[in-house]
Amino acid sequence: MPYPVTAVENCEEDVESFRQRARVWLKAEMPLRDQYAGKERSSDDRWARDRQLQATLFSGGFAGICYPREYGGQGLSFAHQLAFTEESLSYEMPILLNLPSLAICLPTILELGTEDQRRRHIPAALRGEAVYVEFLSEPHSGSDLAGALTSAEADGPNWVINGSKIWTSSAFAGDYAMCLARTDWNVPKHRGLTMFIIPVDHPGVTVRRIRQVNGNSEFCEEFLDDVVVGPESVLGEVNGGWAVAGHRFYYSRTALGGGNPYVSGDHDESVAQSRGITVGGSRDLAELTRELGLTDALPEAVVDALVMETVRDQLARRITGGIKSGALPLEAASMMRLFHAQTDWACVDAGLRVAGGYAATGRPGARVDPGRFGEAYLFRQATSLGGGSTEMALNIISERVLRMPRESALDVNVPFREVRRGRCADD
Amino acid sequence: MAEHDEGLDRSWWCSCAELGWTTLLVPDALGGGSVSGSGLLDLAVTAEVIGQHVAPGPFIPVNSLITAIVESPRREQYRALLDAFIDGTAVGTWAAHEPANEWAPTRPRTRARRDGDRFRLTGVKDRVEYGAQADHFLVGAELDGRLAQFVVPAGIPGLAIEPVWSLDLTRPFATVALHGVVVPASAMVTPPETALAAVERQCQIQLVLQAAETAGATQAVFDQTLRWVFDRYAFGRPLASYQAIKHRMGDAVTQINAMHATVRGAVDAVEERTSVADRLARVASIFTHTHAAEVIQECVQFHGGIGVTWEHDLHLYLRRVTVNRAHYGTPEELRRSLCLSLAV
């Protein structure tokens, strides 16, 4: 698979003058950020607010910096996006729209969609009018995404989709979903999948929110009952859904590990929000140490977390650069995914240690509540599960980067309908 | 080389110097220069290759002394000495450690006292790399309550050098005692006004070069281990086919890529003297030296019993990496220093 280059590399305005222009505009148009105040808002309010902020960015000419101009973007380079992000850090930004909408779904549509699909979906998303989510995992198959059981049956020119999906980030706030469904059960599993773009409020789609251990409910499950969509909703080729998934994997790994040109604004915050994580990065840890009066020296655990964050970003630069130059295969992005989880573990563990006794009870009246770090600890493993488990990442790294022998699989060269999907009665 | 009596083959070192190992940090005007335009990057690449081959040679010590001269406001007075370091005919080293566990190159206990227009130096430096082979020592000392650095020639009266045991078979160390060594005023290469910045810069360069060397050594061990797990069969299949080993190799290659990445990040920052150069150099060293030995020990594990024998080369790499971890600030010492400097 070639490196998906959609960001424009040549542009008229140089990065520094763009940065100056962005600085002036941000100061005039965007509200200042209060990291902790924003978290008090209800989820629905925050989504409405972020759509509004996105509309403001769009009218100011700062939405979709790396998207081509013909689809409502700015047609600028990743360097411009990075400059904008740096300038934007003290302001409120539509962070919720980054993942998966603007950084994973829309780039995949930009890359593989028809002209009609691009025009229909990209400008609306950049204006803040449409939000995109992903219906990928299923109750039966988590990391084994290609084992999807949701089916799409042809009915004349239309498709009828039935099945259920789970672990969907923020489906309740989405307008459209990229949905992976099986369109041919008589071929091996990777060859019978198709990706659809379906409206979330379409008849037959039921969305239910799932409550997480940290009290948030950013994840959802969906039930699809006779959902009828037209041929224009197929993204890529019929039975070519796995290739589409491959492209979205690339964007997802770079979005999580760093190096995705379509993320605008605070990267860590974007990832945290998409995971329903409330606190955790080294900036939060620094706030916590201040709150607890640990001002003589940072605790070692916090420095360890900071070291990991620094190296995580440096690794992202190395891997994305290596993939771009061809020195590394596309699957090397899994190293970023793995390292990202390890970094989060370091941060979460540091939070628990620094919060000390107050991790258990919180501290009433604290601006940065140590109790949130205790709660974050309960949710620790989410980072190594969501977006494909770290075990999957290790398989990919060892098999695709190091070329070690593949795990034997009993579901590869057989028609999917013959694949065993559970324990049989005679076992 | 390991059992060479002198610990340093001078004609071999001169041929290393000919390859440019000693010119990369020196500006063109002083007889140096680099091919890529980033001398430190070239030097880091060299360090990586040195690590891959566990090559001997006073590469980091000589470049530390060269840094001190290049950064000195008095650099013009040191042209002849610099030329000798550049062509390899003289070998120098930074006597950076003192007998204590704490790494504190900006707070030496060695004293410098004025003696007419000369200085008298008293103190002990230990764990001095190539201490018994060096022709010149860079010595940090306290002068009137401030830091200064002196270049002290070997063989000067009052200087006692005692070679010590070294974990690394190809990297010798010595204790260097200064019993009232008298040097001329011109020996003060770094006056107090620029001393903190100079030592800070020497530390940064040393940390990134050492981390680069460690990353290279770890990469070499990993590469040969990857070949080994394909070659070695157990229960009728190659070790490489076991998921338990695949996952650990996947972890290891990610760690190694992260080491290369953090070295590169630090090299760029130190080369451009950005405001985060100091932090990034420490981060690179902390990360690399925390994980390199872990990765190598994993590789020893995959090799089985042969991995803990003298016969296999693995121990040479483990020695180099363990010595690098111990010198010029352990990860624990560097972490503590970041705890203090980053306190909110």
Nearest by Cα to A256 from A247, A245, A267, A240: A267
DSSP designation for B57: S
Task: Count how many Cα atoms sit within 13 Å of the Cα of residue B252 in the half-sphere of its side chain.
Answer: 28
pLDDT for A186-231, tens place per residue? Answer: 999 999 999 999 999 999 999 999 998 888 888 899 999 999 999 9
Please say whether the beta carbons of A419 and A411 come within 8 A. yes
pTM, two decimals, is: 0.89
Estimate the crossing angle of helix B192-231 against helix B39-52, to 10 degrees. Answer: 40
Does A100 score more than 60 pLDDT? yes
Kindly report which listed range (A277-286, A384-393, B62-71, B89-98) carries the lowest average pLDDT score.
Answer: A277-286
Closest-CA distance of chain B to residue A242, Å = 24
Residue matched to tokens 């974050």: A376
In chain B the beta strands, taken as DSSP E runs, fall at: 92-95, 111-115, 118-129, 136-143, 146-153, 159-164, 173-184, 188-190, 233-234, 237-238
Please count the helices (runs of H) and the strands (runs of E) in chain A: 13, 8
Q: Do A407 and B286 touch (CB under 8 A)?
A: no
Cα B26 to Cα B82: distance, rounded to the nearest angstrom: 9
Does A6 score more than 50 pLDDT? no
Q: Do B253 and A402 touch (CB under 8 A)?
A: yes
- Residues of chain B neighbouring A389 (CB-CB closer than 8 A): none
When computed from its CA atoms, the radius of gyration of chain B, rounded to whole angstroms, is 21
Q: Which CATH code of 2.60.40.10, 1.20.140.10, 2.40.110.10, 3.30.930.10 fits the domain covering A134-249?
A: 2.40.110.10
Closest-CA distance of chain B to residue A273, Å = 25
Cα A328 to Cα A277: distance, rounded to the nearest angstrom: 31
A296 close to B (CB below 8 A): yes
Closest-CA distance of chain B to residue A328, Å = 11
Per-residue confidence band for A37, with pLDDT thresholds at 50, 70 and 90? low
pLDDT for A127-162, tens place per residue? Answer: 999 999 999 999 988 778 999 999 999 999 999 999
Does A1 score more than 50 pLDDT? no
Residue A8 is predicted with a pLDDT of 45
H or E element that contains A132: strand A132-135
What is the mean pLDDT of the segment spanning A341-361? 94
- Residues of chain B neighbouring A289 (CB-CB closer than 8 A): 344
Q: Do B339 and A314 touch (CB under 8 A)?
A: no
Cα B5 to Cα A25: distance, rounded to the nearest angstrom: 69
- Residues of chain B neighbouring A306 (CB-CB closer than 8 A): 283, 338, 342
Q: Do A395 and B339 touch (CB under 8 A)?
A: no
Closest alpha carbon within chain A to B254: A335
Phi-psi region of B32 (alpha: psi -120 to 50; beta: other; left: phi over 0): beta
The CATH code that applies to domain A15-129 is 1.10.540.10
Structure tokens at B223: 């590469």
Residue B4 is predicted with a pLDDT of 45
Cα B258 to Cα A267: distance, rounded to the nearest angstrom: 19
Q: Do A298 and B343 touch (CB under 8 A)?
A: yes
Residue B41 is predicted with a pLDDT of 96
CATH class name, domain A277-401: mainly alpha
| Torsion sign over Cα B289, B294, B299, B305 | positive
Name residue B7's amino acid: G
Please say whether the beta carbons of A266 and A93 come within 8 A. yes
B256 close to A (CB below 8 A): no
Per-residue confidence band for A386, with pLDDT thresholds at 50, 70 and 90? confident
Please count the helices (runs of H) and the strands (runs of E) in chain B: 9, 10
Residue B156 is predicted with a pLDDT of 97
Residue B344 is predicted with a pLDDT of 65
B114-143 in b/e form (b: 16+ CB < 10 A) is eeeeebbbbbbbbbbbbbbbbbbbbbbbbb
Comparing CB atoms, the residue among B253, B257, B342 nearest residue A298 is B342
Does A40 score more than 70 pLDDT? no
Does A41 score more than 70 pLDDT? no
Residue A4 is predicted with a pLDDT of 44
B169 close to A (CB below 8 A): no
Closest-CA distance of chain B to residue A63, Å = 30
Please say whether the beta carbons of A33 and A40 come within 8 A. no
Q: Do A315 and B261 touch (CB under 8 A)?
A: yes
A311 close to B (CB below 8 A): yes
Contacts of A174 (CB under 8 A, 6+ apart): A101, A131, A132, A133, A200
- Residues of chain A neighbouring B241 (CB-CB closer than 8 A): 404-405
| Distance in angstroms between the alpha carbons of the first and the last residue of chain B | 49
B264 close to A (CB below 8 A): yes
Cα A406 to Cα B238: distance, rounded to the nearest angstrom: 12
Residue A239 is predicted with a pLDDT of 98
Comparing CB atoms, the residue among A310, A332, A404 nearest residue B283 is A310
Residue matched to tokens 């020497």: B202
- Residues of chain A neighbouring B257 (CB-CB closer than 8 A): 315, 318-319, 332, 335
Q: How many CB pairs under 8 A join A and B?
A: 108
Cα A258 to Cα A272: distance, rounded to the nearest angstrom: 13
B268 close to A (CB below 8 A): no
Closest-CA distance of chain B to residue A317, Å = 8
Cα B210 to Cα B144: distance, rounded to the nearest angstrom: 32
Residue A35 is predicted with a pLDDT of 61
- Residues of chain A neighbouring B246 (CB-CB closer than 8 A): 394-395, 398-399, 402, 404
Q: What angle do CA A169, A172, A175 make, to 5 degrees?
A: 95
H or E element that contains A123: helix A115-126
Please say whether the beta carbons of A212 and A276 come within 8 A. yes
| Torsion sign over Cα A32, A36, A39, A45 | negative
Cα A285 to Cα A373: distance, rounded to the nearest angstrom: 9
H or E element that contains A222: strand A219-229
Q: Do A394 and B247 touch (CB under 8 A)?
A: yes
Q: Do B286 and A338 touch (CB under 8 A)?
A: no
- Residues of chain B neighbouring A398 (CB-CB closer than 8 A): 246-247, 249-250
Domains and CATH numbers, chain B: 10-90 (no CATH), 93-193 (2.40.110.10), 194-341 (1.20.140.10)
What are the average pLDDT values for consecutive 10-residue runs of chain B, which has 344 residues?
65 94 92 85 96 96 96 95 96 95 92 96 97 97 97 97 94 96 97 96 97 98 98 96 98 98 98 96 98 97 94 95 95 94 80
